[in-house]
Chains A and B, each alone.
Chain A
Amino acid sequence: DKADRNQPLVIEANKPGTVDMQKQLVVFNGDVVVTQGTMRIKAERMELREVGEGHRTATALGVPGTQATFRQKREGLDEYIEGTADRIDYDSRSDLLKLTGNAHVRRLRGSTVADEITGNLITYDNRAELFSVAGDNASGGRVRAVLTPPPSASGPAR
């Protein structure tokens, strides 16, 4: 949610990492967990770059077999957004999250999956809480979205 933006970023990893002060680049390895408020990104490798005025870009890379995962609570709702992809890019200036490489994003209401989107590239605008998904036309990528109406609209649930 919105409050996440001014929470400190806490990162944990258990393999050796490097800090390059010349390029303002910090690399973490070994099941990296990044948490900022309710947002949490897990990956095998995480690259953090300072891009001035305190803004950062983060690149989370999974490894074949374990994708990078993303999870965040929605603003003021008991809903969570969960996403997995081969690679997750986050830019704190534009507050945009890009999931590339057979990406799945699910919106969970409590524990039930409300919407699910799969595609090659999914971008999630954290500020406007807006999804956009694109298949990769190279392999005629299809986009699949399963949207369930909010329970209140569908009356007594099945």
Chain B
Amino acid sequence: MPWGLRLREWVLAYLPLLLMALLALATWWLVKNTPIVSAPGSERPLRHEPDYTMQGFTLQRFTPTGALRVQIEGTQMRHYPDTDTFEIDEVRVRSLGEDGSVIRARAQRALSDGKGTHVQLLGGAQVVRETRDGQPPVEFRSEFLQVFLDTERVQTDQPVQMLQAGNDMRAAGLDYDHRSRVAQLKGPVKARLDPPGRRR
């Protein structure tokens, strides 16, 4: 059989195989050159940017029994996913304790952790604690106040003013534990108490 015929014979027999080989080559080339789509956002370091913000908001948190526990208002709130913290401008907080005690706090800016148990108030911070056992309310004023809602403590290392029914005390720092109702004042301390017998 002449070699031309044998060649054609051979080509016809192996044509499908050749085509398949060509195709395999093409797909291999395709896989090689397609750009790797970066994994969706996981490796990228989280930038300290808010993932959601709220304007002129009121946020309320309730106990399982449905009673209002915490109400937070402010002009703007930003939530930062990387540190899971909230930043609130012009904040006003009202927290109701089981024993009926009320904590009201306000400041120009507040930083709070995700669960809202550790709140740092910055700029004209004021915390007022009212209790139901007949004691007059206590008010703390400072440029920086740390409020720990779960352990009921108010702390600051900045100059602070503590007011209670006509008694005005100023100190260089404060650590108030509401459970024991004891405030440790860092010296120097200056107090101005109402004269006896005259309640303002």
List chain A positions with a Cβ less than 8 A from chain B: 5-22, 26, 28-30, 36, 48, 53-56, 92-93
> Does A6 contact B198, Cβ atoms closer than 8 Å?
yes
In the bound assembly, the distance between CA atoms of A12 and B162 in angstroms comes to 15
Q: Check A19–B183 contact: CB distance below 8 A.
A: yes
Given A19-B185, A28-B191; A55-B196 close (CB under 8 Å):
yes
Name B34-68 residues within 8 Å CB distance of A. none
Chain B residues near A15: list those with CB within 8 A: 187
Instruction: Judge whether B196 and A21 touch: CB under 8 Å.
Output: no
Q: Is B190 an interface residue, CB under 8 A from the partner?
A: yes
Nearest residue, chain B, Cβ from A56: B196
Closest partner residue, chain B, to A11 (CB atom): B191
User: Which of B162, B180, B181, B191 has the largest count of A CB atoms less than 10 A from its CB?
Assistant: B191
Which chain A residue shows the least CB distance to B188?
Answer: A14
Docked complex Cα distance between A18 and B169 (Å): 11
Tally of B interface residues using CB under 8 Å? 26
Taking a contact as CB atoms under 8 Å apart, the answer to whether B195 and A7 are in contact is: yes
Chain B neighbourhood of A54, CB < 8 A: 194-199
A-B contact pairs, 14 of them (CB 8 A): A6-B195, A6-B198, A9-B191, A9-B194, A10-B191, A11-B189, A12-B191, A14-B188, A18-B182, A19-B183, A21-B135, A21-B138, A21-B182, A55-B197
Whether B187 lies near A29 (C-beta < 8 A) is: yes
